[in-house]
Amino acid sequence: MVRSSHLSRFTPIVSRNILGHIPFSAAPSVLADFTDILPSSPGLAVISGDLKFSAWPIEERITEAVVMIQKKEKVNSLKNVHENKTPLWPPPTKKNKRISKGKKGGKKKAADPFAKKDWYDIKAPSIFNTRNVGKTLVTRTQGTKIASEGLKHRVFEVSLADLQKDEDHSFRKIRLRAEDVQGKNVLTNFWGMDFTTDKLRSLVRKWQSLIEAHVDVKTTDNYTLRLFCIAFTKKRVNQQKRTCYAQSSQIRQIRRKMREIMVNQAQSCVLSELVQKFIPESIGKEIEKATQSIYPLQNVYIRKVKILKAPKFDLGRLMDVHGDSNEEIGVKLERPAEEPMAEATEVVGA
């Protein structure tokens, strides 16, 4: 409760917006202007509230009246908020002019990422029937970032059926690595081979033995490769038994033969010649023929080739792989027989 000495100034108790600096004697009339307190009532009772303060001393009644004024202001403000249907929380914040107007200079437009890129043609080696494999994207040269450097050593995976225009080779996947860029052409070289998953799963069956072998070989042009071979046993001629399982000793002999043939075939040729042996599966046929005396085999394939180590880049060797890439190809036309020229006659008297 506030003492009467504090009420003489009246400022710490009453809101300045409502009462301001007023003398103690003028408090009843000023309170009547803003509240329902009657100045003529003997006890300054609060008419709008449930409590009446007529029995209290005058100092306490005025103090409670001021408290009721503040409460009434709060109730009125809550009513206004409810009528306007504005949420009580979070409290309303001041509008930021920058948010409504936006940043200076307007909103930046989203740049098209393809506007700064160029298309390059992918060229396969000349050992394949199709030379144009497809196209690839790269960012244009900007400052120290050169477009050709971003293209080098990219690896592209292409189906052998597309390279040879033959659907019988659709289960083989050829990997080509970009070695050099000339103009808008990306020159590639062989970088590996693999089988598709569906082909590999279709080969594995019951009642037969699966034999696998792998070996690291080095070609004459210093490429180090790892070859993976796969083979399956088959029934002998006139065999009545349902299964055709090979013994472990026979499997070891077959695996030894596989390694010997793969090493001999790879060490005697360059990489491009070795790739030409992969396409018709000549190595697999030779393995099948060599192991016929041990146990008959079927579905013998070089299923995977990995390049472990490549020699230092040589542009001349790459141009040999892409030998006829820049030659103009046309159709030879037969020249028509030359007509005999008329003999020149001298005109006398001209």
- pLDDT tens for 170-184 read 999 999 999 999 999
Look at residue 129 in the predicted model and tell me its pLDDT.
92
Count of C-beta atoms within a 10 Å radius of residue 326: 9
User: Which regions of 36-166 does DSSP assign to beta strands (E)?
Assistant: 117-123, 132-139, 155-159
Q: Please report which confidence band the pLDDT of residue 26 belongs to, taking 50, 70 and 90 as the band edges.
A: low
325 close to 187: Cβ distance less than 8 angstroms? yes
Q: Please report which confidence band the pLDDT of residue 323 belongs to, taking 50, 70 and 90 as the band edges.
A: confident
Contacts of 278 (CB under 8 A, 6+ apart): 193, 302, 305
- Indicate the SS3 state at residue 115: helix
Four-point Cα dihedral 306, 311, 313, 319, nearest 10: -70
Look at residue 27 in the predicted model and tell me its pLDDT.
54
Q: Please report which confidence band the pLDDT of residue 141 belongs to, taking 50, 70 and 90 as the band edges.
A: confident
12 vs 331: which has the higher pLDDT: 331
Q: What is the mean pLDDT of residues 205-233?
A: 95
The two structure tokens encoding residue 205: 């069956």
Q: At what angle do helices 282-290 and 271-278 cross, to 10 degrees?
A: 70
> What average pLDDT does the structure give for the chain?
77
151 close to 117: Cβ distance less than 8 angstroms? no
> In Å, how far from its chain's centre is CA 209?
41
Helix (H) or strand (E) holding 4: helix 4-7
- 41-86, pLDDT tens digit by residue? 444 444 444 334 444 445 555 555 555 655 555 556 655 555 555 5
DSSP character string of 299-318: EEEEEEEEEEE-PPP-HHHH
pTM of the model: 0.61
53 close to 60: Cβ distance less than 8 angstroms? yes
For residue 41, give the nearest of 54, 51, 22 by alpha carbon: 54
Q: Which CATH class is domain 204-309?
A: alpha beta
Look at residue 350 in the predicted model and tell me its pLDDT.
44
Ordered by start, the domain boundaries in the chain are 117-196, 204-309
